[in-house]
């Protein structure tokens, strides 16, 4: 199929692709395509979470929209980094079980529109394995024959998770799993954080890029600390205290979402002079989806913090000769381990898992946190009392 018409101005791999140092084959493949002006119209990135597929998608998008072929430093590239470039679209499934037909229909309609700032457009579809039925069929022809300058990047765990008809229309790019020690070293080097903090960040986020983002976010780090404090206090809290703690925790978790909302509102205001009413509506709808995804991601992150703490408690109870992840909260781990049993901690971990399932099904975050914390309290042999 035709290329995206993007050419690097200098020989060699574009600077934007330097983030793929841990994926040299992918870096060379994409760099060569950009350099030679032969980008595919559709890529399917496959690999385990944390392999750097989203980072690669962002880097390739920079190469498409950057006037300098992907220098990684210009205003266009910075907009891609912050997910505010109007010609780079990130998609997540709106439905509980996958992508909705209407969501893909809107995408197809947008594909036909002229780019707003760049010469090309990029559509990055996360969890592409959830494209099924009508939504997948709605995307097929557009992926096969998109307008000139449009590039699709689909991200999935494996080829087997995808419909064969979609796979056949994409260039498959496999990503290797990054070794744990390599991931840890990368986070320490890029964030300038000590080994202890890097381990914590990786345990919560699963990938070096996401771990660095976590370490750079004061609100997200405070959300994690608050979750640990809340669990530490369950032994002495009554039911009312637990409900209040859930509300305070949710308020803290929503801080990053409010910051993103401000950025997106500013983005719409900045573009309002040259956006049609229909384009503005689509942008506002896309921003709403981004906020929903951000909120779900931040809740999942604090649930991961609870899971990590409880697993450390289990190591202590079982006397496993292995360093805990939450070294900065070793006093909390020891206090809980002194009171709890193996069976109780396993039940508590089950409560966290159920909470994650509820969030994935769009159950109220407030209710989910309340039920989870009360369940953990009871599981750790601290039955809730009432006031």
CA nearest to 198, candidates 325, 108, 362 = 325
* CB-based contact 338:378 (threshold 8 Å): no
Per-residue pLDDT of the chain (387 residues; tens, 9 = 90+): 444 444 333 357 899 999 888 889 999 999 999 999 899 999 999 998 778 899 999 999 999 999 988 998 899 999 898 888 999 999 888 765 678 888 899 999 999 998 998 999 999 999 899 898 888 988 998 998 889 999 999 999 899 989 899 999 999 999 987 788 888 998 999 999 999 999 999 999 888 888 998 999 999 999 999 999 999 999 999 999 999 999 999 999 988 666 666 666 666 666 666 666 766 676 666 666 666 666 778 899 999 999 999 999 999 999 998 899 999 999 999 999 999 999 999 999 999 999 988 887 778 899 999 999 999 999 997 544 443
CB 66 within 8 A of CB 77: yes
Distance CA 84, CA 75 (A): 11
| Other CB atoms within 10 Å distance of the CB of residue 158 | 11
For residue 7, the model assigns a pLDDT of: 39
Fold exhibited by the domain 15-174: Rossmann fold (3.40.50)
Upper half-sphere CA count for residue 113 (Cβ side, 13 Å): 22
pLDDT attached to residue 96: 59
295 contacts 257 by C-beta, under 8 angstroms: yes
Q: Please tell me whether residue 6 adopts helix, strand or coil conformation.
A: coil
Q: How far apart are CA 111 and CA 347, in angstroms?
A: 48
Task: Give the pTM.
Answer: 0.63
Angle, helices 218-233/330-339, rounded to nearest 10 degrees: 30
Nearest to 229 by CA among 213, 246, 214, 211: 246
Q: What is the pLDDT of residue 279?
A: 66
CA dist., res. 208 & res. 187, Å (int): 5
The residues, ordered by sequence, that sit 6+ positions from 205 with a Cβ below 8 Å of its Cβ are 211, 213, 214, 301, 304
Q: What angle do CA 234, 236, 241 make, to 5 degrees?
A: 65
Q: How do the domains of the chain map onto residue ranges?
A: 15-174, 217-379
């Amino acid at each position: 199929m035709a290329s995206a018409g993007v050419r690097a101005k200098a020989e060699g791999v574009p600077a934007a692709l330097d983030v793929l140092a841990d994926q040299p084959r992918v870096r060379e493949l994409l760099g060569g395509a950009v350099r030679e002006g032969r980008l595919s119209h559709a890529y399917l990135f496959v690999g385990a979470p944390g392999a750097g597929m989203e980072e690669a998608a962002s880097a390739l998008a920079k190469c498409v929209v950057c006037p300098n072929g992907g220098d990684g430093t210009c205003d266009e590239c910075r907009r891609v980094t912050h997910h505010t470039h109007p010609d780079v679209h990130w998609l997540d499934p709106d439905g509980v079980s996958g992508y909705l037909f209407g969501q893909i229909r809107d995408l197809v309609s947008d594909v036909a529109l002229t780019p707003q700032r760049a010469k090309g457009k990029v559509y990055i579809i996360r969890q592409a394995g959830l494209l099924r039925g009508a939504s997948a069929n709605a995307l097929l022809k557009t992926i096969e024959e998109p307008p000139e300058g449009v590039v699709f990047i689909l991200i999935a765990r494996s080829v087997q998770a995808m419909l064969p008809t979609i796979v056949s229309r994409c260039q498959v790019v496999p990503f290797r799993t990054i070794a744990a020690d390599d991931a840890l070293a990368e986070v320490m080097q890029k964030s300038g954080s000590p080994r202890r903090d890097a381990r914590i960040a990786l345990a919560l986020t699963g990938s070096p890029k996401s771990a660095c983002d976590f370490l750079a976010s004061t609100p997200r780090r405070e959300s994690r600390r608050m979750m640990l404090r809340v669990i530490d206090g369950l032994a002495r809290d009554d039911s009312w205290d637990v409900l209040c703690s859930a509300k305070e925790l949710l308020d803290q978790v929503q801080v990053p979402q409010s910051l993103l909302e401000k950025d997106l509102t500013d983005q719409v205001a900045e573009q309002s002079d040259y956006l049609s009413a229909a384009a503005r509506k689509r942008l506002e709808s896309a921003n709403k989806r981004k906020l929903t995804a951000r909120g779900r991601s931040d809740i999942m992150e604090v649930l991961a913090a609870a899971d990590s703490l409880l697993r450390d408690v289990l190591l202590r109870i079982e006397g496993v000769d292995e360093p805990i992840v939450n070294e900065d909260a070793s006093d909390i781990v020891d206090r809980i381990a002194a009171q709890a049993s193996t069976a109780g901690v396993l039940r508590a971990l089950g409560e966290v898992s159920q909470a994650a399932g509820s969030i994935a099904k769009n159950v109220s975050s407030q209710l989910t946190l309340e039920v989870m914390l009360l369940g953990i309290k009871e599981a750790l042999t601290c039955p809730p009392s009432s006031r």
